[in-house]
Structure 1
């Protein structure tokens, strides 16, 4: 007998689970059929539940985390500890959302639009408030760009490329080893532009 399965439908969740795996492995482009196949559904079901593959991507990458909450303790730290606190907060949050983060980073590497959105998000919501709070001078944009480069590189090496020992390191180890560089960008002297 064919037709609709008995009981509550799990199709939406099955599509989300399949999409997380496929997006994390391959990014977004050319994945609709593979997602449907892994979920055991017709590709039209993606449009039915999510409107489009773009809607599915948004559902997969929706973080249930407010960056303001993540960086709040950092903003209360002493200037000398700000970089370490920032890295601890970010890595702990990223670790809790590693599949989503991996999907975002890989997809941003393939999409100018998503790369721009990610850049704006990192600079305005995660790095910007910290730099504005701790910068000892008026070079906020330069410090924010340098800090964002370090943070983006850390995301890439830890979650996408999975380079050891960084990939499996404890957040405190990451903060201790990467912190001095981030602290220099945040509060240290910078070369003239």
Structure 2
């Protein structure tokens, strides 16, 4: 084979493997598709082929961009779609007595805006992927612990667990189980109904 033929062969192979200027679009499509498939089926119930089919690309692209299903899961689900530090600072910006309202409104707004896919994928994958449970637990523990501590409340660990249970439970009912009328309720309605409970967990009298 001539040098020229070898070069043509190499270039053709590279194109088949997705090494093209639009390759980043393939990566983005795979992340979006993975988030949706993991949200529907959890980690164990999702396959590389199903994700690739949803993205409209060859299954080999998963290994090309992420190395494995595990790598794709880490990129699509275990990386939170927001900055925890930025979120924490924005929620601290206001009176302590309105903290529950800010938390419920902010989380619902962000979850609704992202279709709830990342949250769903995490929840559905907890049983089959240990790291998913760690991400969910670590986020809520660190997040609520800092908020509660800054408000000067006692029994920080208990309050953190209670507040997290309220938010995770609300998310499961709205985005996974899809119980009506909560699944389609307006954000303002849920803030009015849920925020006082979260506020009590954070700063109120627990009756203990």
The two structures share one fold, judged by TM-score above 0.5: yes
- Counterpart of 1:184 in structure 2 is 200
Cα distance, 1:187 vs structure 2? 1.5
Change (3 A) 1:14 1:116: closer
**Rounded Cα–Cα distance in structure 1 between residues aligned with 2:32 and 2:58:** 15
Change (3 A) 1:107 1:169: same
Higher Cα Rg: structure 1 or 2? 2
**Rounded Cα–Cα distance in structure 1 between residues aligned with 2:203 and 2:21:** 58
- Aligned positions of 1:24-173 closer than 5 A: 24-30=39-45, 31-61=47-77, 62-97=79-114, 98-124=116-142, 126-137=143-154, 139-173=155-189
Change (3 A) 1:86 1:117: same
- Counterpart of 1:20 in structure 2 is 35
Q: Deviations over 1:78-114 (max 9, x none)?
A: 2221111111122112222222222122112433332
Count of residues in correspondence between the two structures? 189
Kept in 2: contact 1:70–1:90 (CA 8 A): no
Q: Secondary structure at the match of 2:148?
A: helix
Q: Secondary structure at the match of 1:167?
A: helix
TM-score (ref. length: structure 1): 0.85
Cα distance, 1:127 vs structure 2? 1.4
Q: Secondary structure at the match of 2:183?
A: coil
Q: Which runs of 4+ in 1 moved over 4 A?
A: none
What CA RMSD, in Å, does the superposition of the two structures yield over aligned residues? 2.4
Change (3 A) 1:20 1:117: closer
Q: Deviations over 1:130-163 (max 9, x none)?
A: 11122433x1111111111111111111111122
Kept in 2: contact 1:83–1:182 (CA 8 A): yes
**Rounded Cα–Cα distance in structure 2 between residues aligned with 1:136 and 1:15:** 43
- Counterpart of 1:8 in structure 2 is 22
Q: Secondary structure at the match of 1:150?
A: helix
**Rounded Cα–Cα distance in structure 1 between residues aligned with 2:179 and 2:171:** 11
